[in-house]
Chain A
Amino acid sequence: MEEQLLSREDTRLVEGLRAGDEAAFKELMRLYGPAMLRVARMYVSSRAVAEDVVQDAWVGVLRGIGRFEGRSSLKTWLFRIVANTAKTRGMREARSIPFSALAGEDEAAVDPDRFLGADERFPGHWAVPPEGRVLAAEALDVIERAIERLPPAQRTVITLRDIQGLSAEEVRNALDLTETNQRVLLHRARSKVRSALEEYMR
């Protein structure tokens, strides 16, 4: 089944780009450029190289836009191109790290000490339950700092899902992740951000 997935918005931008409309290009660059740079940072060593990757990716986008068929959303396609460009470059740098190694295997969402131990009557239930809300307007920079401290793959996934608003499937397609890996990375990332907010509100 070949489904046309392009939203009206995507169609407008794709047509604008094909027509050489600079306003459409700027709009796309500002919408997705910052997150594309973050994706590039996941695979290459330096900020300067990541910027080169983003530039090469956009050249690829312009070359490919005429053949873009809309089998994925426009943003999935853009992030796929930057991820692939960055992977190629990362390999050349011999610094590429496989995604699985970035996943951060055995991290708990919540500090295990906050649950009752095996010798208690209700093992695994809250000993120190969370309380109240974790939010305040000024907490935004707490969130940003928490995201900056994340391992690169977690940082990229939470950026694409929760900041840029991609669906789970779009992120999996953009970064070539399994369903489980995508979810684990997102879960670890969100758990740490929640925990940073909780700490901050205390």
Chain B
Amino acid sequence: MRLDRELACQEVVELVTAYLDHALSPADRERFEEHLVFCDGCSTYLDQMRETIAATGRVQLEALPPGLEARLLEAFRGWRTA
């Protein structure tokens, strides 16, 4: 057993991205997960971050302006015949 010190919620919220990217050390990952078991607030927070990421994935970036698309196509055609 390590558990030298329990994580505070304020620290947990700063580790969420590292946790989701599997970038925490095994010991930190374990502490993070132990904290979640007993903390509804942080479990909810993690769920909300997952929902946020999933929803952001549905955002459609605005298409290129037609003028720029036309210029790019022109550059492509020029390159092809060069």
Contacts and interface: CB of A to CB of B under 8 A. Distances in A.
Contacts of A63: 79
B17 A35 contact: no
B26 interface: no
Interface in B50-82: 51-53, 55-59, 61-65, 67-69, 71-73, 75-77, 79-80
B55 to A, nearest CB: 6
Contacts of B18: 183, 187
Nearest to B63: A34
Contacts, number: 146
Interface SS, B side: helix
B24 to A, nearest CB: 11
Contact of A193 (B21, B52, B72): B52
B56 A143 contact: yes
Contact of B40 (A20, A54, A129, A158): A129
B44 A35 contact: no
A130 B45 contact: yes
B49 A194 contact: yes
A79 to B, nearest CB: 13
Interface residues of A, number: 57
B13 A197 contact: no
Interface of B: 8-11, 13-14, 16-18, 21, 23, 39-42, 44-45, 47-49, 51-53, 55-59, 61-65, 67-69, 71-73, 75-77, 79-80
Given A25-B76, A133-B47, 4 more contacts: A125-B39, A168-B21, A168-B23, A198-B48
- Which 4 residue pairs across A and B have the least CB separation, nearest first? A124-B8, A129-B41, A34-B61, A126-B41
Interface of A: 20, 22, 25-26, 29-30, 33-35, 37-38, 51, 54-55, 58-59, 62-63, 108-110, 112, 115, 122-126, 129-135, 139-140, 143-144, 147, 158-159, 162-165, 168, 179, 183, 186-187, 190-191, 193-194, 197-198
14 contacts: A22-B73, A25-B73, A30-B64, A34-B62, A34-B63, A34-B64, A35-B61, A63-B79, A124-B8, A130-B44, A158-B56, A162-B53, A163-B59, A197-B55
